[in-house]
Amino acid sequence: MKEKILLSKRGKEFIVAKRILAMLLALLMVTALFAGCGSGTSEKAANDSGKAKGESKSDTPNAPVTIKFIQNSANGGREDVLKSMIDNFQTKYPNITVDYEIIAYSDYYTKLNTMLSAGSEAPDVFEVGYENFAQYASKGLLKDITDIVANDKDFKTENMKKLAYDAYNYNGKQMGICTDFTGCIMYYNKDLFDSKGLEYPNENWTWENELEAALKLTDESKGIWGTVSPLQVYEFYKTIAQNGGSIWGADGKTVTVNSKECVEALQWMLDKSYKYKVQPPFTSDIYTQPDADWRAFEEGRIAMLRNGTWQFGEFEKNAKCNWDIILEPGNTQKAHHFFSNGLVMYKGSKKDEAAWTFMKYMAIDPFVVNTRIEANWNIPVLNDDDVMKAYYEKTPPEHKKVATALLDSLVLPPLGPIPEKWAELQQVLGDELEKAKYGKVTAQEALDAAKEKIEKLFE
């Protein structure tokens, strides 16, 4: 007691400092205590997988193993469908537990990249679209599954649609498997065609046929448009292919985005609005408001619409007109683009067998395929007409087969020699297309400028 009163001010502060230090240490220890706490089901599984990872690669087929899986395509409405697929998988393979997470598409790659950066948190299997697949493959983040596929007696590559399956091949090595896709085709309003006594579009149609019909069908006084197609990068690279053009030359390195064929194609896209007036001006609500184009189609105000296969369910429910689909008319050839989802394996995963079993299941297992078809959730890539019969028989639209037929004239996203710069390429090309869209530059000027900017990306 006596010592305390005799302490100088500095001495008092020293005691206070010690007390603070003690409290901080206590806080630290409490933190460490809490480290295990927190209610997260995936955390528990993460601990389990931590233990499983400690074991050497398990060759015993029945050793319990947990694989970590993340994806995004189920977000916003399909969570329960995915759950039923995974539950069925775990019933079929009771020794494999799938610890999965669904993330919104807009944030998916941010989270994926963060998890990959921390190594221990990286998922064993994750979903990628084709464009991102090439980037991850080029960065060496994916496992080469060529051997695993070859050794799997239950899996035959002929079971899958060739172009879609090959899309996930990088430099001759199979690095992933395509599980499903959506694509863009042309919807047409049967009632409008009937009202003018016109024949429906068929698969031999070219741009000329489309223009002819659109001229007869457009009726501005009633607010009816003959044809509507968006103008953006994806539509662009598909349309130039329909005219025999492409962004990259035959050597795969020269930029040919301003070739005669490409300029003609862009001019065609613009002319429909500006010259022939069979398409709404790009400043109109149909183009600028979200969802306005397909809603207008539902209301019967558009005769021909290029849009995605994901609208089947929506149109079936809400379209006020009779409609069907057809392959897009090309000019010199047909071309379609698609949005594919595939599953890949992380390079550092130690659960190859289990991961591949899961990946294969999600692509070709009959339960998965049928569930997809029933839920109208994207299109399986199976090359088996018997199994796909259920898909084709689910109408509308009547010509459902068109949806898979588009895979035969597929043009992949033009990643070129710089797949890691796909986002930048889209940006520069998109900027120039915007300028042309609003009439600020001509088609030739826009594509010349795009060529320059794309070439700059090489540096």
Partner 1 sequence: MIQNSKERAKRILLHAIFILLSAVFIFPFLWMFMGAFKDDVEVIKMPPTLLPSKFNFDNFRTISELFPVSRFLLNSIFVSFTSTFLQLLFCAMAAYVFAKIKFSGKEILFTLFLITMMVPKQLTMITLYRIFVNLNLQNTYLGLILPSTYNALGIFLMRQHIRTIPDSLSEVATVDGASHFKIFFKIILPLCKPALATVGILGFMESWNSFLWPLIITSSTELATLPLGLSKLQGRWTTAWNLLMAGNVISTVPILLVYLFAQKYFIKSLAQSGIKG
Q: Tokens standing for 384?
A: 């088996």
Question: Dihedral of the CA atoms 441, 445, 450, 451 (nearest 10)?
Answer: 180
Q: Tokens standing for 311?
A: 């609208």
Q: Tokens standing for 189?
A: 């309003």
Q: Interface with partner 1 includes 46 (CB under 8 A)?
A: yes
Q: Where are the alpha helices (H) located in 306-442, listed in sequence order?
A: 312-318, 352-364, 366-375, 385-393, 402-405, 422-437
Contact 415, 131 (CB under 8 A): yes
Q: Interface with partner 1 includes 106 (CB under 8 A)?
A: yes
Per DSSP, 113 falls in state H
Which residues are bridge partners to 307 per DSSP?
Answer: 185
Judged by CB, which is closer to partner 1: 7, or 63? 7
x-marked contacts with partner 1 along 367-406 as a string, rule CB under 8 A: ----------------------------------------
Q: Interface with partner 1 includes 1 (CB under 8 A)?
A: no
Q: Which residue has the tokens 């408001």?
A: 289
418 burial level (CB within 10 Å; 0-12, 13-18, 19+): middle
Tell which positions 265-294 bind partner 1, by CB under 8 A.
Answer: 285, 289-292
Contact 397, 325 (CB under 8 A): yes
Q: Interface with partner 1 includes 110 (CB under 8 A)?
A: yes
Stretch that binds partner 1, among 59-67, 95-103, 131-139, 227-235 (CB under 8 A): 95-103
Q: Interface with partner 1 includes 38 (CB under 8 A)?
A: yes
Q: At what angle do helices 207-217 and 260-274 cross, to 10 degrees?
A: 10
Can you tell me which of 7, 43, 281, 333 binds partner 1, judged by CB under 8 A? Answer: 43
Q: Interface with partner 1 includes 104 (CB under 8 A)?
A: yes
Judged by CB, which is closer to partner 1: 300, or 416? 300
Stretch that binds partner 1, among 105-113, 259-267, 427-435, 437-445 (CB under 8 A): 105-113
Q: Interface with partner 1 includes 76 (CB under 8 A)?
A: yes
x-marked contacts with partner 1 along 170-189 as a string, rule CB under 8 A: ------------x-------
Stretch that binds partner 1, among 97-105, 155-163, 346-354, 445-453 (CB under 8 A): 97-105
Q: Interface with partner 1 includes 107 (CB under 8 A)?
A: yes
x-marked contacts with partner 1 along 17-36 as a string, rule CB under 8 A: --------------x--xxx
Q: Interface with partner 1 includes 6 (CB under 8 A)?
A: no
Q: Which residue has the tokens 């049967």?
A: 190
Verify cis geometry, omega within 30 degrees of 0, for the bond prior to 61.
Answer: no
Q: Interface with partner 1 includes 147 (CB under 8 A)?
A: no
Question: Dihedral of the CA atoms 162, 164, 169, 172 (nearest 10)?
Answer: 30
Q: Interface with partner 1 includes 154 (CB under 8 A)?
A: no
Judged by CB, which is closer to partner 1: 128, or 255? 128
Size of the site for partner 1 (CB under 8 A): 45
Q: Tokens standing for 76?
A: 């916003």
Q: Which residue has the tokens 């897009």?
A: 328
Query: Is the alpha carbon torsion for 303, 305, 308, 310 positive or negative?
Result: negative
Pairwise CA distance, residues 188 & 227, whole Å: 9
Judged by CB, which is closer to partner 1: 39, or 151? 39
Q: Tokens standing for 39?
A: 């209610």
Judged by CB, which is closer to partner 1: 308, or 430? 308
List of residues contacting partner 1 (CB under 8 A): 12-13, 16, 31, 34-43, 46, 72-73, 75-77, 79, 101-107, 110-111, 114, 117-118, 120-121, 182, 285, 289-292, 295, 308, 310, 314
